[in-house]
Amino acid sequence: MAYGDFVIQRDLSFTINRGDIFIIMGGSGCGKSTLMRHLIGLKAPAKGTIHFDDTSIWEVDSDARQEIMRGCGVLYQRGALWSSMTLAENIALPLGEYTDLKPDQIQRVVSLKLSLVGLAGFEEFYPSEISGGMQKRAALARAMALDPEILFFDEPSAGLDPISAHRLDELIRELRNCLGATVVVVTHELASIFAIGDNSVFLDADSKTMIARGDPHRLREESDDPKVQQFLTRGESGGGI
């Protein structure tokens, strides 16, 4: 991954299995969000390939790539809800753009998605009228609007209090279990990493490559890399940064 001649990360190689809650982790500035931009088709890698099943998404034309990307839902770090639209209108937007559903069908889908994230009855509220945690859940409902196979979350707990963050983690795990979706989460929050993650990759800003991958719990117990240990045990006795 690079911006011009400036390399962010190199020699990345990992697999996200179907049904995983896959964590992209590492310290600030290591390229976590940049990696997500590559995975969701917003930026092409400087070298290498990204495959969805057997398709290399940067070796097909833009129409084919867009079709693959429609199987993905994205929850951005700040939610990215349209402030001038109600929650119902925000969620209806991709449905109106990418499906042939009639208005009454869209309304039913919107109500279902809001119900799935615990916001039944909030259709006519504007983002400014609800809490930060509720905004994240509404953004999650929009990310699920097109029934994606893969959900991408960029720092979903950012800006949330610990209780709201915990509830969002529980919701992410429940949705994976109920819907069978694959979930990719960019985060540095230890509570979330250990609460929901069952596979991961660890990016290092200094060496500009991945220095660990696997179950975060196993990495905490077995990794002999001091950077991985420091990151995953910070806050514990003798393990602070």
- Give a yes or no: residue 154 inside a domain: yes
In a domain, 78, yes or no: no
Q: How far apart are CA 36 and CA 198, in angstroms?
A: 18
21 and 46 both lie in a single domain: yes
Sign of CA dihedral 80, 84, 90, 94: negative
Same domain membership, residue 100 and residue 53: no
Partners of 21 in beta bridges: 183
| Residue 134 within any structural domain of the chain | yes
Query: So what's the pLDDT on residue 237?
Result: 47
Q: How far is CA 215 from CA 169, 178, 219, 233, in A?
A: 17, 21, 6, 15
- Does some domain include residue 27? yes
The pLDDT of residue 92 is 92
On whether both 182 and 127 belong to a single domain, the answer is no
pTM for the predicted model, two decimal places = 0.86
CA gyration radius, the chain: 18
Is residue 241 domain-resident? Answer: no
In a domain, 49, yes or no: yes
pLDDT, tens digit (0-9, with 9 covering 90-100), for 47-58: 999 999 889 999
Last residue of a domain, one of 147, 168, 189: 147
- Confidence tier at 16 by pLDDT (50, 70, 90): very high
Question: What pLDDT, on the 0 to 100 scale, is given for residue 238?
Answer: 45
Question: 93-142 pLDDT, tens per residue?
Answer: 888 888 888 999 999 999 998 988 888 888 999 999 988 888 888 988 88
Residues of the chain with pLDDT > 90, as a percent, come to: 51
Q: How confident is the model at residue 78 (pLDDT cuts 50, 70, 90)?
A: low
Residue 29, both tokens: 């500035």
Q: What mean pLDDT, rounded, does the chain reach? A: 88
142 and 159 fall within a common domain? no
CATH number at residue 189: 3.40.50.300
Partner residues linked to 51 by β-bridges: 56
- The confidence band for 235, taking pLDDT boundaries of 50, 70 and 90, is low
Element (H, E) at 165: helix 162-179
* 50 and 100 assigned to the same domain: no
Number of domains in the chain: 2
So what's the pLDDT on residue 87? Answer: 94
171: nearest Cα among 92, 46, 75, 97: 75
Same domain, 67 and 173: yes
pLDDT at 161: 81
Same domain, 176 and 67: yes
Same domain, 166 and 67: yes
pLDDT grade for 240, boundaries at 50, 70 and 90: very low
Determine the Cα–Cα distance for residues 118 and 114; give it in Å rounded to an integer: 6
pLDDT for the residue numbered 55: 92
Q: pLDDT digits over 185-223, tens only?
A: 999 889 899 999 999 999 999 999 999 999 999 999 999
Tell me which residue range forms the domain holding 187: 1-71+149-235
Residue 77 lies in a domain: no
Same domain, 170 and 112: no
Residue 9: the pLDDT is 96
Note whether 160 and 229 are same-domain residues.
yes
Question: Which structure tokens are listed for 154?
Answer: 């960029």
Task: Indicate if 95 and 139 belong to the same structural domain.
Answer: yes
User: What would the two tokens of residue 65 be?
Assistant: 């790539």
Give the range with max mean pLDDT: 71-75, 179-183, 217-221.
Answer: 217-221
Are 24 and 130 part of one and the same domain?
no
CA atoms 144, 37, 86, 135: torsion sign:
positive
Q: Which of 147, 164, 184 is the last residue of a domain?
A: 147
